[in-house]
Amino acid sequence: MHRPRTAFVILGMLTVQDPLSGYDLRKAIESSVGHFWGESYGQIYPTLKSLAAEGLIVPSPGPVKQRRQAYSITAAGRDALQQWLALPFTNDPPRNEFLLKLFFGREAPAGATAAHLVELNRRNRSSLEQLEQIQSLAPKLNAGNPHLPYWLMTLGLGIAMTRAALEWGERTLLELESPAPDAETQPVTRPTA
């Protein structure tokens, strides 16, 4: 009774560009929703088959030389997507390994936690840069695209959260580096990023 969400990502991507093959879908997903949603070939290809069997997509009649068999969304597919979009969203069980290691930081070898923090900041800086780049280019690249306002909103949340995480990370790193008032935690020299 519960269709895997992979199906809806595929249907959604097909409302953006149509037709698309499994290979194209993977790339399109990675380069658009990739920051907050991932799909692997092992999921995509079987899902394409089952979606086609149910009539939510149809194999595109194009150059079917066994290479890049593309699919198009059907009216039934759009209906199914629309229904799903209206359903309440669920927070799937959160899993943040960084936070876990930070939480148990007292048990870690000296310097390990600070190193993690440096690495987190590095990743966040890189992410933020990338997201802001997209934000600045998207309006021109997608001028007139009716999806654009929603994409910009999505981007906005990603940027807001990444920026907040980065600010926290830089603040906290200073805190870790400065000698603790209590003698319990020993000061740590900052590893080279």
Helix (H, G, I), strand (E, B) or coil at 59: strand
- Interaction between residue 101 and DNA (CB under 7 A): no
Instruction: Tell whether residue 156 is a contact of its own copies (CB under 8 A).
Output: yes
Q: How far lies 15's CA from each of 18, 19, 74, in Å?
A: 7, 9, 10
Q: How far is the CB of 87 from its own copies (least distance, A)?
A: 8
Residue position matching structure tokens 């088959």: 49
Instruction: State in angstroms the smallest separation of the CB of 27 from its own copies.
Output: 16
Q: Which residues have CB under 8 Å from 11's CB, separation 6+?
A: 51, 56, 57, 73, 77, 78, 80, 81
Closest approach of its own copies to the CB of residue 84, in Å? 8
Nearer to DNA, 52 or 138 (CB): 52
- Binder among 85, 126, 137, 177 for its own copies (CB under 8 A): 85
Amino acid at 29: I
The piece of 19-27, 52-60, 61-69, 155-163 that touches its own copies (CB under 8 A) is 155-163
Residues 1 to 40 in contact with DNA, rule: CB under 7 A: 2-6, 21-24, 38-40
Residues in region 43-82 near DNA by CB under 7 A: 43, 45-46, 48-49, 65-70
Phi, psi of 95 (to 5 degrees): -145, 105
Residue of 23, 2, 1 lying closest to 10 (CA atoms): 23
CA dihedral 15, 21, 24, 26 (to 10 degrees): 90
Does residue 71 belong to the site contacting its own copies (CB under 8 A)?
no
Shortest distance (Å) from residue 107 CB to DNA: 20
Among 4, 31, 38, 41, binds its own copies (CB under 8 A): 38
Kindly give, in sequence order, each residue whose CB lies less than 8 Å from that of residue 109, ignoring residues fewer than 6 positions away.
none
Residues that bind DNA (CB under 7 A): 2-6, 21-24, 38-43, 45-46, 48-49, 65-70, 93, 95
